[in-house]
Amino acid sequence: MPISHSLTPMLLAVAVAFAAAITTFASPLKILPLQRAFPLDEPVDLNELRARDSVRHARILLSKGGRQSSIGGVVNFPVQGSSDPFLIGSKTTMLYFTKVKLGSPPTEFNVQIDTGSDILWVTCGSCSNCPRSSGLGIELHFFDAPGSLTASSLTCSDPVCSSAFQTTAAQCSENSNQCGYSFRYGDGSGTSGYYMTDTFHFDAVLGESLVANSSAPIVFGCSTYQSGDLTKSDKAVDGIFGFGKGKLSVVSQLSSRGITPPVFSHCLKGDGSGGGVFVLGEILVPGMVYSPLVPSQPHYNLNLLSISVNGEMLPIDAVAFETSNTRGTIVDTGTTLTYLVKEAYDPFLSAISSSVSQLVTPIMSNGEQCYLVSTSINDMFPPVSLNFAGGASMMLRPQDYLFHYGFYDGSSMWCIGFSQALEEQNILGDLVLKDKVFVYDLARQRIGWANYDCSMSVNVSVTSGKDIVNSGQPCLMISRKDMVLKLFSSILLALLLCTFFSLT
């Protein structure tokens, strides 16, 4: 056989394999920009924070009752804002929101990111008692179901509605045959509406290039009624973006269809101007430790076993860490402070105060235990360790359990950021979650964490490789290691194809 003819199949095989490799490298990476929410120009009273958190915790307790992309896509949420709501003279945030686009043509909505609930819902055009303006400086939008060419309401007979009924997240109207929902909160506020199916739009990233108009069908809620705090204009957004464990959560819907991997991560920057990153994918950092999720729980529950202060385990009654339908320890990015049940809170507060009794001046501020400090808190306050099942410990620096509350009599005033839980659940809020990478591995049913500078770029792993996500920026790049491995595999495939053609 002439040489020119024998090279033809080889060149063809190499071309095919190289094209396949390029296609693999260019698997779409989805981006949604996350923006600052609830700006505060002045210090907030701790009671106000507790009131907001208590509403959220009531929701946690009450909740107990199209064309597919290839798996491996990463959704990136560049985070803005700070975890410290008491920074004086600067805008801070207690919660975060992002922009999503729904419908055809697409309409943009500002929705609060929430790992403590499951449902994505936005306000409908027919919503009553809903705010028409927002003190956050954003324009509010309302979902126009009749105006969307791809919108359809979920009927009572739809299997998705039946699945939602099993989690008490749905109800049916005999008159309209619509699959509805009604969420009521502890302070009397709430929202109700009906489920829709429509197109969810996102940006797809090929390496460092953005490709617009990517989309996938998704089930979400269209709220027709709101009450209580949800009607207030000062902190109004268009809805809530649930990232809980339920089947109707966004992360469950996308991962079950192979659009994203069944894992998401966040890294919240605690100092300076705040910020960070929130991605659907696994952030890879050294020193990651994991603790198994408590099975058969609707939220991200971990088994907290003990608490140590300055290396000494506190004498805490074991009942403080029991796990049941009403007790346990929840990881919740939507909660600002951290809450311990009385059996754990009292020994913790006593241990901290005793360890610094000769170094700082204790002072009560609005009923809270605070301290007047003349030097760095790292030189005076002890390290704290939260010890979880699986041998995983979460090491807390003083700034992870204290917050700066201004100045008094020429000294800095720092207050305990742990409060006594009103219910029987321990809740870990942003104060302890900041400055750490957290990975929610739903496939392996575990949560991992490691200390990290959240202003730095992070490596994100998906099924097909790694990407680099710059904190606060929608910039992603394919790692060289994975590119070399994929290229080597493609060349090997080309040689095998060449051998096959030569033999034939």
Q: Which residues are known catalytic residues?
A: 114, 332
Q: Are 68 and 258 in contact (CB under 8 A)?
A: yes
| Distance in angstroms between the alpha carbons of the first and the last residue of the chain | 12
Nearest CA-CA partner of 20 in 500, 494, 468: 494
Q: How does 72-95 read in b/e, with b if 16+ C-beta sit within 10 Å?
A: bbbbbbbbbbbbbbbbeeeebbbb
Three-state secondary-structure class, residue 402: strand
**Positive or negative torsion for Cα 105, 109, 113, 116:** negative
Q: Are 426 and 304 in contact (CB under 8 A)?
A: yes
Provide the token pair at 504. Answer: 């034939």
Amino acid at 482: D
CA distance 204 to 209: 8
Cα–chain center distance at 233:
24
Q: Are 433 and 335 in contact (CB under 8 A)?
A: no
Three-state secondary-structure class, residue 21: helix
Provide the token pair at 29. Answer: 């990476």
Q: Are 66 and 151 in contact (CB under 8 A)?
A: no
Name residues whose C-beta falls within 8 Å of residue 73's C-beta, 6 or more positions apart in sequence.
27, 28, 29, 30, 204, 259, 260, 261, 280, 462
What sections of 63-152 are H helices per DSSP?
Answer: none
